[in-house]
Structure 1
């Protein structure tokens, strides 16, 4: 049985490290803002095993103009569970959470190899690709949010 629930930043490291920081020290899994009260971390569990994670930060992009922006970071699914719809379920969960927070815009830096995944979920690339040191090429992506569901 699968379930998505709130987790701690430290719990997210169980997936962040092998997927997003492979070969790097555990400290590299800590993101600025992980421990803020406004930050939420979600984990997707199958039979009580954590297989996917995502973090949602209530923070503005330096280049996008909108009120109440949210950044998604650290979206990752363990390799043997990828391409089975779990990433989409986590993203839709984030979108619902952000709608309920009256968020108007979601943004993130997507790895080059993940852009097509996000485009299928109606996120748009903004500007040229850029490099993040020791990680690779990324694109700024965004999606404007509908009004909250009633």
Structure 2
């Protein structure tokens, strides 16, 4: 099995963001403010040539946790048939390595409640309590210092 993580253009993320994160909503909702910035990097997990998962990394200071150079993860998603197979770990590890190479000192994101266990198993910590993102659902802020 030939799994590879590669950088991709932001619009390629929609093929995974839409069915996993924005099902039933217009495809336009897959665009995140800052997607097209040169400081944003998008990663795709491929099996041969098939895109299975995505993760976007935004150079963005955390509004709550102090750092010198923070990166925010957004839109991490794995297509349903490929979930719970440890593929997400490959994507997360590649992004973590990239952030470390960029001398980032903090990774943070808003995690959906159902993904908290996955992120905890991969070294992230919850900060604060559950909050609701309108039209998306309950989330928690999670982080990891590098």
TM-score range relative to shorter protein:
over 0.9
TM-score normalized by the length of structure 1: 0.96
Kindly report the root-mean-square deviation, in angstroms, between the aligned alpha carbons of the 2 structures. 0.5
Equivalent residues in 2 for 1:59-138, closer than 5 Å: 59-138=60-139
- CA apart distance, 1:61: 1.2
Structure 2: give runs of 5+ residues left out of the alignment: none
Scaled by the length of structure 2, the TM-score of the pair is: 0.98
Unaligned runs of 5+ in 1: 146-150
SS of equivalent residue, structure 2 residue 39: coil
Displaced runs of 4+ in structure 1, greater than 3 A? none
Partner secondary structure for residue 28 of structure 1: helix
Q: Report how many aligned residue pairs link the two structures.
A: 145
Residue in structure 1 matched with residue 35 of structure 2 by the alignment: 34
SS in 1 for 2:45: strand
1:148 equivalent in structure 2: none
Could you give the per-residue CA deviations for residues 87-141 of structure 1, whole angstroms, max 9, x where no partner exists? 0110000100000000000000000000000000010000010000111100000
Look up the SS of the partner of 1:126 in the other structure: strand
